[in-house]
Every structure is written in C-alpha cells, then in structure tokens.
A and B are shown apart, each in its own frame.
Chain A
C-alpha cells in the first residue's frame, strides 16, 4: 500500500486537466536510458504481515524486559512515567514540522521554551537550545562553538580521557576538516588534575565529563581549579553531564562551566538500540549568539498576547549559509518534548528521588560485588550510578557466562577503549534494577572463578 488516496479515475481527470497523455509524460526531463530501472526489493506486504514480521524480528532480540541488565556506558535504562508516551504519541506533536509558522505552532514552541527553561534549571546555565542529535554531537558542537568564540585562532582542544570514547571519536570526526589538535587524552581517565598542564594560549576549550565515563564524580575543588585554568588561558570550560546525576549533585555552573551538554536519553527516552536520543545543550548568556541549533524565545503578538517564536535565527544555516555556526537543521524535538514531560512529572523532588535510588542501589551493588573473591573496585573515588569493577578474568568471558547461565546482561567491557583496563567491567545500576537482580549478579559472579 502506498497510501495514495487518488483512484485511477482521479488520475485520468487530473491528467486531462493538465493536458498530459499519461504519467510517464511528466518524467520526460529524465534521460530515457535511465528511466524506470528495476528495483530489486522484497514483495510488498500488508499491514498485518508487516506487524507479524517486525514482531518476530523484535522477539529475535533478547530485550531488557526479559533480562536483568547492568549495561550503561552512555545509554541508560530509567523509569519512564506513562504520561511521557501519551504526550509524545499525540499526532498534533509528532506529525508537525519544525515550527516555522509560529501562529499555528504554539504548542511545539511553548513546549520547547519550557524544555529550555527546564534544562537551564537542571544545569544552572542561562540559555539552552532546542536540542542536538545526541550527547556526542552536542559535545562536538560545543567544540565548534568554542573555536568560534575564540574567533578561529585557538586550535587546540584539551580533552579528558574520562569523556565517553565515542563522544571523543565524534568530536574528531566533526573536526577533521578544521585542523584542530587534541591533547590530554593519554592520562588517567579518572584524574582531572593532569589536564591543567595542557591548557595554554592556543586552547579553545577544555572538555570533561562528570560523572566520568568510568563512573567517578569529579572532586569540586579539582573541577574548579581546572575551570579557573581554562578561563585564565581564555578558553571555555565544557562539561558533559548525565542529567539524572544533576538531580542530586551540584550543577556544573557551580564549578565554572561555560557550556553544559550531554545525553538526554535518560530523561524519558527509551534505549531503542542507540537512538533516537537527545543532545541537550546549555551555555552562559554571553555566548548565546555563538550557540548552534534552534532557539525559542518569548514575545507578544500585535494584541499584546504572549507567544513564542524561533529566534536569533541569524546564527543559522538557512540565513547565514556557509557562515553559520553549524549546519544543524532538524534536531530531536520530540525527544526534547519527552524530556520536558519527564522533568515536569518528576519535578523538584521526583528527580532527586530517582537519583538517590540510583546512588543507593549502585553503592549496594558495589559493596556486595567488591566482597566477592577475585573482584574489587577500581578506585575509591565517589561515584553516582556506575563504577569500574576489577575482575579475575576477561569481561567478555564473564559476560558470556552471565548470559548463558543466568540470563543476565553484564556490564561494559572497558578494555575496548582503555587498553590499561583489562579485566575491568563498568557496572551500571539504576532505579530499574531490583535488589534481587543485584543479589543474583553477586551470586553469579561468585561462581565465575570456579566456572570452566
């Protein structure tokens, strides 16, 4: 079915009206020898059949409704209140386009304005945009913005090795045509203090993740010192942060961040095998004209009634073309709506409660796992909902055992990205993990050493 309502009779009448003999005549500008190629696609199916087919495909996966999961590493399983799905499932929201015509797009515009406000509340920043594609691209755009703030003269980026490895890879992809240099990634991924020595007059920005990829929280004093070093050199201090952690821990504005960005999937978004997610992005007021993406502002109509519009668009590609801050056009609007609904539903107390549940459960798991013979925590640093666990055997082997024997999806194998961290698992525990699941994991790992 091609969802075409017109019948053959309609088509005949329409062709007659435009004076064309047949539909083929409309395609005469296309070189004849290339017209109407064979498309080798599987035969079309009905709605019933496509539902059956995709249903079977989806069941071919092991999904997290059927397996306790301790994977995080940038994609998190958090509780999504029912209201979120009901709001973003409304056709009035999801079948609208980018709100170019403000008068009949006030629903989208006001919800983005509220989303911007909520993100500012969470991060402590002054302004936020309507979203980026994900946490990785938000960070890449932060780098481009910092280079632009430095008028293109500062070409060095200092990056903590505690920033998500895929985010660092995306930053490099974005920057490959710009001739930037990178420094700082060789150190200890949990130690921010060594970054300071890399900051110099060429530095456009310093990138840190908090909590870091290995789960540990930055010491406030360490973070403030690093921010001060960046500012003293004229560079921007960029923090990528798990938004759920901001329900409990001090916002990056308190330790000197100029830009705060990150992955907003945790805020009401599903895991969905890696996307669609949500890149949230906020910064200080003074940099708003260099910020990429859509921004919604409040104004009034000619009768003085409050309304909302896309604003400051002189930054954007459709106006500035090659001089634009970024090429971004479509973003992740529906995911930002989900985040706004989530933050509103959670509210002042709910988000803190979620963050505390993560904290306590993760600490319970860490304590229990560290007591299993052969296992130990990598460090004693404070952490939020993830921690690195030293294991007696390669993580891949352990995870296979957990899956085959217990149906448990184990943590992330840190040796993928950090060769020095062989036999080290990044364990993630959220409010979704029950005490029984944690105890089962502990029990299963207790058998690992004796396993064949």
Chain B
C-alpha cells in the first residue's frame, strides 16, 4: 500500500501544533498586502508522526546495515556527535552575537581549523564551505585569485583527469575556466606523457583526486606536482578520498596547494539523506590570504585577563596568580585577499561540532588506525571478489576499489541488475557507473567501521549474485524483489515530470 502524501492526509480543521495567544495589543494588518489562501495541509500531530515514522522505515540507512557506496565514505556516524551538536549552548547562539559572548563557538572552530591544517599539512583552513562541491568551487576560485594577484590572467585552462568526479569540471566551469581532460594510463594513474604535453603557461592548475576514483594512489604524485608547479600552475586536491591517508601522508607535503575535505565523509558526520555536509578548504601558506572567510583567528587577551582561580580572589586584571596562563581572544577575520564569502555566516557550524567531537575522540593514533583499517577492509573485500568480477586495474587498492559488472557468461546482465539484486540480500548497492573510465563500474568502499563478518556476508552475496547472473538472469532483471517498491520508471518521471502534488 502506498504511504499517503501529507496533502492526502489533510482534513480541514486538523491542528498539529499548539501556539501561545498574543500577549500584546494587536496592530492593524496592512490591507492589500495579505495573502488570501495558504494551501498548506492540515494534519494532526499523531498522524504527522506516524507518517514520518512510516516514511523513515522505507529508507535503507547506515544505522540499518552495510552501505558500501564508493567515494562517499559511509562510515558509522557516532551517536555522541549528535549529542554534542545539539547542546543548547551551541544551538541557541545567533551568528551575529558579540564575539565576547560566543568564545566557546569560536574556540571550537579555531581548534577544528588547526586540526585540519595538521592532518592536511597546510598553512590555513577555512570552514565556510557547506559541502564538498562548495569547497571545491572555493578552491578553484582561490587558484584563480592567486594567478590574478600576480597579474597573470593568461591561465584560462584547468586540467582534470578523466577519472575525476563530475563536480571537478562543473566547479571549474563556474569559476570561468576551460576544462581540459587528462587521460589515465594502463595502471590507472594520470598519463604522465599526456600531462607533460599539456603543461604550459595557459594552465591554472590540475585537479587531482588522490587516491583517485579507482581507489588507487597516484604512484607518480611527486612528478605530477613537479610538472604542474614547473609550468607555474597549482595542484588542487579533491579530498573526497582523504579517508585512506589520514596520518599516513599529508597532502601538503606531497605538493598539493589547495584541497577541500568532506567532514560528512572522512570525519563521520552523517549525510542526512543528502546533506548537510561541510567542505572546509585548506591551502598552503602562500595561499592563506585568499581563503574564503571569515575565518577564526586568535590573539593574546592581555587586557581582559580574568582570573579563574577562586583561591586567588583577585577576580580582576593584572592578577599575578600562578594560573596566569596565556589566554586568547578568538575573533572572526576576513583574510587579506579573500575570494570573499561563499555562504552567509561562517559555515555549517553544527556539522563542525560533530567533526570536532570525532577528531577529539580519535586523536592522531585513532585517525591513522581508521585509515589503516579502511584500506585493509577494502583490500580484504577486493581479495574475496577478485576472480569473480572483472577487475580492470589489478593493484593494491586504498580505501575503495572498482570492479566491472561485465560478468563472463552473463552477457545480458548489467551493473544495474547486480545493484538492484543486492537490495534483496539486505545491502545498499555500491556506487555504480562511476568512474566513467570503467565500463559498467561497481565502486566499493567498505570503510573501517565494518567488521570482517559484515565484509564476508557482503562478499558471499556478491558471489551468489554472480552465479545467479548466469543461472537465473531474470532474478536479477526483476530485482529488487523485497524492496518497498519495484524498479521505478525513470523515463516517465523525466518525460512527464510530476514535481509537486499541488493541483495547478
């Protein structure tokens, strides 16, 4: 049975909220400006809750099971993150409050900037971007601003490997650059000869994902950085795959100049069904003045020292008690040559609180452990599936790997069929048909928060499906069999779009 739409549940006179009566004299409403009809539904509170609980039950989610969506780092979202982000002292603060009244928030943001700088090996970080693609746009604009600040406006081209995420060329185009595709070589690396031929005085930068979207570490990354810098361009890092290398290598030390990170991937904040995330952007020291802002800076609070030591009892400035440690005042600051604001206020603060909580709980050793286990889990799963599914690039993988759904002996089976059949086994399917350079791609990222038993049961399902593909292909073509709906008609959805339930 269909879950009704809220509009279908609506009945005149039903009320879902209780509001106070007006405690001030009523003013006259400006006639001629009022709306005549507000076509919102009328639903009782109990019906509302049941509706949304039933809807929630139609979702697969990380809290229900394994979600090996490649490039998305669907690691467990620790519950403590939700607790800290919802602390009233954080939630009930207004972005325009006097800085003196939000030192807790500003301290936390400053610390998170410092943590990310350290993990990335960079000179500065801005927490303002709200998502990965948003951080990417900021990063590309930083590259543009850097060249322009040097009076160099000839650099109109951005090099992008053919394995890149679609956001890379899209961000590049938004920033006004022409995109130039760089091919991959037989080992899944950037083709160095091709890159060499492209590097000249018209190139603004190269956008490199490392590990790349095949889940492979670019073996020639040092040479790539040398070539890019050699022609006066900058090296951009797409941080989508940072989960493989925390505490293993710092991108800044490899020669990356700019990189965004996804707090909702690497740093365990939930994806929320498509957001909110956060996409801080980090840069090398030379690019710090170009960061989007404001960012948080601190200064010694010499004059405003307040003694914390009750036994001292001075309670005032210029106290000489032994606890007279350096205290800082945290404030917002716009970097000198900033590309500007990329959103209102300072970033997705609530998401930053979650990432801060996560990094505090893992520490340096925990972050490295996370990356090591993410890579071990991926290689273990790869080992179990290699030989069952075609593996176009047979190398030690990093945190994810890419198979092909072109199963020998099952010519009618597509990757989509395999993906849909996985639902019947109780798994969310991997990322499919990406990266574009692998036909019928199946991109699997298990993350470090899955146990060996979970990986084994997923592997067994994949192996079983490969057998079904040959013995009973219809089982795959008709899948899913156990989901709330069967395969949906996407063509009809696009050709005759029904995008609201309002009567026009």
Which residue of A83, A247, A317 contacts B167 across the interface (Cβ within 8 Å)?
A: A317
Distance (Å) between the CB of B137 and the closest chain A CB? Answer: 6
Q: Are A29 and B217 in contact (CB under 8 A)?
A: yes
Q: Which residues 55-99 of A sit at the B interface, judged by CB distance below 8 A?
A: 55-65, 69, 71, 73-75, 77, 79, 81, 83, 86-87, 89-99
Which residue of A58, A121, A316, A438 contacts B88 across the interface (Cβ within 8 Å)?
A: A58
Q: Are A361 and B61 in contact (CB under 8 A)?
A: no
Distance (Å) between the CB of B377 and the closest chain A CB? Answer: 8
Q: Are B92 and A270 in contact (CB under 8 A)?
A: yes
Q: Which residues 347-368 of B sit at the A interface, judged by CB distance below 8 A?
A: 347-351, 353, 356-357, 359-368
Q: Which residues 156-202 of B sit at the A interface, judged by CB distance below 8 A?
A: 165-167, 169-177, 179
Q: How far is the CA of A127 from the CA of B500 in the complex (A)?
A: 7
Chain B: residues with Cβ within 8 Å of the partner, total of 202
Q: How far is the CA of A305 from the CA of B32 in the complex (A)?
A: 45
Q: Given A10-B451, A299-B493, A412-B96, A166 and B344 touching (CB < 8 A)?
A: yes
Q: How far is the CA of A115 from the CA of B395 in the complex (A)?
A: 45
Q: Which residues 137-177 of A sit at the B interface, judged by CB distance below 8 A?
A: 137, 144, 164, 166-167, 169-170, 172-174, 176-177
Whether, in the assembled complex, A105 has its beta carbon less than 8 Å from a beta carbon of chain B, the answer is yes
Whether, in the assembled complex, A183 has its beta carbon less than 8 Å from a beta carbon of chain B, the answer is no
Distance (Å) between the CB of B488 and the closest chain A CB? Answer: 5
Whether, in the assembled complex, B104 has its beta carbon less than 8 Å from a beta carbon of chain A, the answer is yes
**Chain A interface bracket (under 10, 10 to 19, 20 to 34, 35 or more):** 35 or more
Q: A19-50 toward B: CB 8 Å interface, digit per residue (1/0)?
A: 01001011111110011111111111111001
Which residue of B222, B248, B452 contacts A35 across the interface (Cβ within 8 Å)?
A: B248
Q: Are B95 and A75 in contact (CB under 8 A)?
A: yes
Q: Are A110 and B166 in contact (CB under 8 A)?
A: no
Q: Are B176 and A177 in contact (CB under 8 A)?
A: yes
Q: How far is the CA of A251 from the CA of B36 in the complex (A)?
A: 9
Q: How far is the CA of A86 from the CA of B77 in the complex (A)?
A: 17
Q: Given A18-B383, A177-B141, A360-B22, A51 and B40 touching (CB < 8 A)?
A: no
Q: Are B341 and A93 in contact (CB under 8 A)?
A: no
Which residue of B36, B272, B348, B501 contacts A117 across the interface (Cβ within 8 Å)?
A: B501
Q: How far is the CA of A62 from the CA of B483 in the complex (A)?
A: 48
Stretch of B3-11, B280-288, B321-329, B402-410 lying at the A interface = B3-11
Most buried by B among A93, A177, A327: A327
Whether, in the assembled complex, B393 has its beta carbon less than 8 Å from a beta carbon of chain A, the answer is no
Stretch of A188-196, A229-237, A330-338 lying at the B interface = A330-338
Q: Given A31-B222, A301-B486, A354 and B19 touching (CB < 8 A)?
A: yes
Q: B246-277 toward A: CB 8 Å interface, digit per residue (1/0)?
A: 11111001100000000010001011111111
Whether, in the assembled complex, B48 has its beta carbon less than 8 Å from a beta carbon of chain A, the answer is yes
Q: Which residues 481-504 of B sit at the A interface, judged by CB distance below 8 A?
A: 483-490, 492-494, 497-502, 504
Q: Are A220 and B494 in contact (CB under 8 A)?
A: no
Q: How far is the CA of A409 from the CA of B365 in the complex (A)?
A: 43
Q: Are B63 and A250 in contact (CB under 8 A)?
A: no
Whether, in the assembled complex, B480 has its beta carbon less than 8 Å from a beta carbon of chain A, the answer is yes
Whether, in the assembled complex, B311 has its beta carbon less than 8 Å from a beta carbon of chain A, the answer is no
Which residue of A3, A324, A363 contacts B448 across the interface (Cβ within 8 Å)?
A: A3
Q: How far is the CA of A176 from the CA of B250 in the complex (A)?
A: 31
Q: Given A167-B344, A273-B90, A361-B24, A104 and B16 touching (CB < 8 A)?
A: no
Q: Given A43-B363, A103-B486, A317-B166, A26 and B423 touching (CB < 8 A)?
A: no
Whether, in the assembled complex, B102 has its beta carbon less than 8 Å from a beta carbon of chain A, the answer is yes
The residues of A that contact B236 with a CB separation of less than 8 Å are none
Distance (Å) between the CB of B155 and the closest chain A CB? Answer: 12
Q: Are A274 and B349 in contact (CB under 8 A)?
A: yes
Whether, in the assembled complex, B150 has its beta carbon less than 8 Å from a beta carbon of chain A, the answer is no
Q: Are A274 and B95 in contact (CB under 8 A)?
A: yes
Q: How far is the CA of A164 from the CA of B59 in the complex (A)?
A: 38
Determine the residue in chain B with the shortest Cβ distance to A45.
B360
Whether, in the assembled complex, B118 has its beta carbon less than 8 Å from a beta carbon of chain A, the answer is yes
Q: B228-247 toward A: CB 8 Å interface, digit per residue (1/0)?
A: 00000000000000000111
Determine the residue in chain B with the shortest Cβ distance to A104.
B60
Q: How far is the CA of A74 from the CA of B343 in the complex (A)?
A: 12
Q: Given A92-B56, A137-B130, A321-B170, A26 and B396 touching (CB < 8 A)?
A: yes
Q: Given A95-B77, A307-B485, A135 and B344 touching (CB < 8 A)?
A: yes
Q: How far is the CA of A249 from the CA of B31 in the complex (A)?
A: 10
Q: Given A101-B419, A174-B174, A217-B30, A96 and B62 touching (CB < 8 A)?
A: yes
Q: A380-397 toward B: CB 8 Å interface, digit per residue (1/0)?
A: 001000000000000000
Determine the residue in chain B with the shortest Cβ distance to A48.
B80
Whether, in the assembled complex, B203 has its beta carbon less than 8 Å from a beta carbon of chain A, the answer is no
Q: Are A79 and B19 in contact (CB under 8 A)?
A: yes
Which residue of B23, B42, B264, B449 contacts A434 across the interface (Cβ within 8 Å)?
A: B23
Q: How far is the CA of A322 from the CA of B363 in the complex (A)?
A: 39
Q: Are B40 and A347 in contact (CB under 8 A)?
A: yes
Q: Are B497 and A133 in contact (CB under 8 A)?
A: no
Q: Are B360 and A246 in contact (CB under 8 A)?
A: no
Q: How far is the CA of A144 from the CA of B249 in the complex (A)?
A: 38
The residues of A that contact B451 with a CB separation of less than 8 Å are 5-6, 10
Which residue of A31, A58, A110, A348 contacts B5 across the interface (Cβ within 8 Å)?
A: A110
A-B CB contact pairs (8 Å), 27 listed = A18-B380, A42-B360, A74-B344, A87-B49, A91-B62, A91-B64, A93-B273, A96-B61, A97-B69, A113-B499, A118-B6, A131-B275, A273-B346, A275-B343, A295-B497, A295-B499, A299-B498, A309-B493, A318-B165, A328-B133, A330-B274, A330-B275, A340-B6, A348-B40, A361-B24, A382-B30, A409-B98
Q: How far is the CA of A113 from the CA of B176 in the complex (A)?
A: 33
Q: Are A93 and B272 in contact (CB under 8 A)?
A: yes
Q: Are A26 and B376 in contact (CB under 8 A)?
A: yes
The residues of B that contact A332 with a CB separation of less than 8 Å are 130, 272, 275-276
Q: How far is the CA of A356 from the CA of B10 in the complex (A)?
A: 23
The residues of A that contact B502 with a CB separation of less than 8 Å are 117, 120-121
Which residue of A43, A327, A412 contacts B133 across the interface (Cβ within 8 Å)?
A: A327
Q: Given A37-B253, A322-B169, A322-B179, A344 and B43 touching (CB < 8 A)?
A: yes
Q: Given A14-B380, A275-B349, A346 and B63 touching (CB < 8 A)?
A: no
Most buried by B among A93, A94, A254, A361: A94
Q: Given A90-B56, A353-B19, A434-B23, A51 and B102 touching (CB < 8 A)?
A: no
The residues of B that contact A91 with a CB separation of less than 8 Å are 61-64
